[in-house]
Amino acid sequence: QVQLVESGGGLVQAGGSLRLSCAASGRTFSIDYMGWFRQAPGKEREFVATINWNSGGTYYAATAKGRFTTSRDNAKNTGYLQMNSLKPEDTAVYYCGATKGFRIRTLEKEYDYWGQGTQVTVSS
């Protein structure tokens, strides 16, 4: 089992920045990818970014590319999502997920473990 705990959400004005953290514990050696998803009210959970836990390779959704950066610190078993130039449409609950596998995972159903989510609100 892998446990994930997100932190770092909050209220920010449009154009501002936030950094989310996702601390992993338990069988962290089984993590191959850590992904970030978000869910706005009345909408489905959508993919934001993912990082290969071993190589550091990353992949982003079009809405995140150029504004968001995902990274990880293996020594701390923690992943990060740096969000810059935030827009009101970025308002959502942000979740991190973890999974095993050998290819990039962008679907919610492909992730085995999830954190509890952290609220990000961007005011205009």
pLDDT in tens, 44-79: 999 999 999 999 999 999 999 999 999 999 999 999
Q: What is the pLDDT of residue 114?
A: 98
Write out pLDDT tens, residues 68-122. 999 999 999 999 999 999 999 999 999 999 999 889 999 999 999 999 999 999 9
Rounded Cα distance between 14 and 1, Å, is 37
9 and 20 Cβ atoms separated by less than 8 Å? yes
- Tell me whether residue 100 is exposed, middle or buried, using C-beta atoms within 10 angstroms of its C-beta: 0 to 12, 13 to 18, 19 or more: middle
In 3D space, the residue among 104, 51, 103, 54 whose CA is nearest the CA of residue 80 turns out to be: 51
Q: What is the pLDDT of residues 20-32, one digit of tens each?
A: 999 999 998 889 9
Rounded to 10 degrees, the C-alpha dihedral 41/108/72/38 comes to: -10
94 by DSSP, 3-state: which? Answer: strand
pLDDT at 101: 87
Per-residue pLDDT at 109? 95
Q: Looking at residue 102, what is its pLDDT?
A: 84
pLDDT > 90? residue 4:
yes
